[in-house]
Homo-oligomer: A and B are copies of this chain.
């Protein structure tokens, strides 16, 4: 049995990465595969994960991320992006993939398709498709940080950035995508004083209730 709690206790929001330490390719491959395996509502996977290692591009992003240097100093910067809408084509691409992996025909999935399209219309009417997609990307974020911690890697989830500037610099508009959240990954610097601080969480009685 995995000691999941050791990894979660070791994890913290890394404030200073060691820019000299890069994630080995075999470790990164596992982490990338874990991203792909993230669960999502209806299995729709409404996301594209942009992995940035190019230093010039990362430096350009820093001022648009509240000058947080983790964006440039980490080993791999993960920018989680989501579609602003959820096109019928996207739903059909998902169904085509289901057929490809599981066999059968798209026709046999028509009731699933109807259900998803109905759900989509409901969300769209409330202006909530982008928000729904962002929620899904946070499932990815939660799973990803936990996976990284188990591989001995540090992360820092970041909501502090200028969405419009990120979208522009990364050229997301043409694909109908927008930036949801950032997650730099790498190795903590020995200079990061936050690494040694005790973790602050509410007591169980304050966040858990049994019925």
Residues of A within 8 A of B (CB): 1-2, 4-5, 7-9, 11, 13, 30, 32-39, 41, 43, 45, 47-54, 57, 93-94, 97-98, 101-102, 131, 134-136, 138-147, 150-152, 157, 159, 170, 197-202, 204, 207-211
| With A45-B207, A143-B142: A39-B51 Cβ-Cβ less than 8 Å | no
Distance A4 CA – B47 CA, assembled complex (angstroms)? 21
Of all chain B residues, the one with the shortest Cβ separation from A204 is B36
Of all chain B residues, the one with the shortest Cβ separation from A33 is B5
Partner of A135, one of B4, B45, B51, B135: B135
Minimum CB–CB distance for A135 against chain B, Å? 5
Pairwise interchain contact B54-A211, C-beta atoms closer than 8 A: yes
The oligomer's copy count stands at 2
Of all chain B residues, the one with the shortest Cβ separation from A99 is B200
Of all chain B residues, the one with the shortest Cβ separation from A210 is B51
Main secondary structure of the interface of A (DSSP, over half): helix
Residues of B close to A210: CB separation below 8 A: 51, 53
Minimum CB–CB distance for A138 against chain B, Å? 4
Partner of A49, one of B49, B201, B209: B209
> Which of A52, A138, A144 lies at the interface centre, i.e. has the most chain B CB atoms within 10 A of its CB?
A138
Of all chain B residues, the one with the shortest Cβ separation from A147 is B4
A-B residue pairs, 9 tightest by C-beta: A142-B142, A138-B138, A139-B142, A142-B143, A8-B37, A2-B150, A101-B200, A143-B146, A52-B211
